[in-house]
Amino acid sequence: MSGSAAAGPDGRLRCPWALSTEDYVAYHDEEWGRPVHGDDALFERLSLEAFQSGLSWITILRRRPGFRAAFADFKIASVAAFTDDDRARLLADPGIIRNRAKVDATLANARLLAEWSPGELDELIWAHAPDPATRPVPRTLADVPAVTDESTALSKTLKKRGLRFVGPTTAYALMQACGLVDDHLEDCSARRR
């Protein structure tokens, strides 16, 4: 693939990464790059991006129902109340990624976020959204960065506030997934016009 938008089976132009599986087509068309708000929803995306670190996103996407079941639909208050027995259950759950450091980070993040004011996570994350007018529209995949100044700043802010597994690359993936940036390619049918 050239890295430019490519036609899918239905003839619609899409970002080329979206054409490898039906799961990706649906995720690309219906979710990726669309604005996400709400503390619980953003906690879910932040947690899943952390679990994805070092893995393919398709691995996480296909296990998302298992993650949601295991982590009480990522309700911050519920996950913050998880006990050592819940931690042991998570580490034995084949429906998720059983990485001890990532499980522990998710639990610690929930406990920390449970102490924040309602809307505080949403406000903090969205405060790092760049002005769309200052961002060039990507024409090919080569034009899409893995890290930006804004994702580095978001990562630093989250880490300073005590959150874990929130490096600049993870922060940028979160920004892409949650619509803080629109990295759909110029000719992609899912690009916001």
- Residue 30 annotated to the active site: no
- Residue 24 annotated to the active site: no
For every residue of 142-170, DSSP letters joined together read GGS-S--HHHHHHHHHHHHTT--S--HHH
Beta-sheet strands, E only, within the chain: 6-7, 13-14
Torsion angles phi and psi, residue 20, rounded to 5: -80, -25
Which listed residue (57, 116, 126, 186) is catalytic? 57
Which listed residue (27, 31, 126, 186) is catalytic? 27
- Residue 27 annotated to the active site: yes
Torsion angles phi and psi, residue 114, rounded to 5: -65, -20
Which listed residue (24, 32, 44, 49) is catalytic? 49
Positive or negative, the CA dihedral 53, 55, 58, 63 is: negative
Q: Catalytic amino acids?
A: 27, 49, 57
